[in-house]
Amino acid sequence: MSRKLLLALLGWLMLGCVVARADEAADFYKGKTVTLVVGYGPGGGYDVYARVLSRYMSKYIPGHPNVIIQNMPGAGSLKATNYLYRAAPKDGTMFGTFARNMALLGLLKTNQNIQFDPAKFTWLGSSTSYANDAYLLLVRRDAKDKTIEDLRRPGGTPLVLGSTAEGTSSDAMPTVLRDMLGFNLKVISGYNDSGTLFLAMERGEVEGRTVGLSAVRSNKPDWLKPGGPMHALVQFGRPTRLATLPDVPTARELARTPKDRALIELIETPYLLSRPFAAPPGVPPARAKALQDAFMAVHKDKDYLADAAKLGIDVSPIDGNAIHSIIDKLAKMPPAELHSVQKLIEGG
């Protein structure tokens, strides 16, 4: 048999395997319902990304199953993360989204309530890698402390911030602001989700919070307009200032020592997978690939991109392999650096 003929036969065999896997997935998903679990309540950034994704996933999953949303708030999305890993069906009929730093927390293993290994999830990808987004310290304009200089002044009145649960971005970043950047803060934690925090800011229960710019754009589009009720003081998750926020410094710029800057960069690594989506471990390979391929295909859909643009959310996706690479990089960090992150997340 000639080499050319052999290569042709191998090509046909490989094509046949691909078609067989696609047919297997289509046969399974036809007439099914796929549930997308959101680790937060309605109205926050994670919920917005999940809902716009859910409108298009059926189009790209073989067999075109119905896709529905199930909100499962609790413990800064730890409840949903544990559920997806331990209790959710592993047949490909369920996937979800949860806090961007759950992978880091799973590696640190400092929270006794963590019941998952981040490396074993069936990662679909992340809708954004923060290419055009930023995580903000957002403050009411009528707060007593209005500038970075106010917040760093010794003996001043602390700025009251709201957060969800320990270890999530809304809690860890205030710790960075307080312990590494020298801001005078008081943090009230325990809010259920982003929606309740938005309401707390509107009511004046808290003077500020940390939150993604895209979440503000999609939920409170008037807040950051000229003369709006809120303003941004610091942006996280970026090596440089976002072009649309040229006067707002990054946390890295405000770091007081090279060691602090390096630690901030490490803390900000999860923003590369800022809106992660994953299915439970053990999903059959053909169905896992169907979900992964559908996830990435959605982010090229012109109607999805149009919806995302209307909502003001960043679309800069990475795939599941990229998330595994990020997790592997974090896992290989020197123990001393991971210990520093652990201390920071635990409150200094």
Q: Where are the domains of the chain?
A: 17-129+273-345, 135-269
How far apart, in Å, are the Cα atoms of 37 and each of 46, 68, 93, 271?
10, 9, 11, 20
Whether residue 38 is predicted with pLDDT greater than 70 in this model: the reply is: yes
Place of tokens 């997308």: 36
Q: How far apart are CA 192 and CA 213, in angstroms?
A: 20
pLDDT of residue 221: 92
Whether residue 12 is predicted with pLDDT greater than 60 in this model: the reply is: no
Q: Which of 171, 168, 133, 117 is nearest to 327 (CA)?
A: 117
Q: How far apart are CA 176 and CA 180, in angstroms?
A: 5
Whether residue 146 is predicted with pLDDT greater than 80 in this model: the reply is: yes
Cβ burial of 212 (10 Å; 0-12, 13-18, 19+) is buried
Whether residue 103 is predicted with pLDDT greater than 70 in this model: the reply is: yes
**Average pLDDT over all residues of the chain:** 90
Cross-strand partners of 8? none
Q: pLDDT tens-digit profile of 302-321?
A: 999 999 999 999 999 999 99
Token pair listed for 208: 């500020």
Q: Tell me the pLDDT band of 47, cut-offs 50, 70 and 90.
A: very high
Task: Answer whether 17-129+273-345 and 135-269 agree in fold.
Answer: yes
What's the maximum distance between 2 C-alpha atoms anywhere in the chain?
85
Average pLDDT, integer, range 81-97? 98
Whether residue 268 is predicted with pLDDT greater than 50 in this model: the reply is: yes
CB atoms within 10 A of CB 152: 14
| Helix residue ranges, H only, the chain | 3-29, 45-60, 78-86, 102-108, 148-152, 169-179, 194-203, 213-219, 251-254, 258-267, 285-298, 302-311, 320-331, 335-345
pLDDT of residue 305: 98
Q: How far apart are CA 226 and CA 213, in angstroms?
A: 15
Whether residue 114 is predicted with pLDDT greater than 90 in this model: the reply is: yes
Q: Which of 75, 312, 60 is nearest to 189 (CA)?
A: 75
Residue 182, Ramachandran bin (φ over 0: left; ψ between -120 and 50: alpha; else beta): left
For 175-204, give one letter per residue: b (16+ CB within 10 A) or e.
bbbbebbebbbebeeebbbbbbbbebbeee
Cβ burial of 226 (10 Å; 0-12, 13-18, 19+) is exposed
Q: How far apart are CA 147 and CA 183, in angstroms?
A: 10
Cβ burial of 275 (10 Å; 0-12, 13-18, 19+) is buried
Q: pLDDT tens-digit profile of 204-221?
A: 999 999 999 999 999 999
Amino acid at 269: T
CATH classification number, 17-129+273-345, choose in 3.50.30.30, 3.40.190.150, 3.40.50.720, 3.40.50.10680: 3.40.190.150
In 108-183, DSSP assigns E strands to 122-126, 135-140, 159-162
Spatial neighbors of 237 by CB under 8 A, at least 6 apart, are: 130, 133, 134, 135, 268, 271, 274
Average pLDDT, integer, range 96-107? 93
How remote is the C-alpha of 34 from its chain's centroid? Answer: 21
CATH of domain 135-269: 3.40.190.10
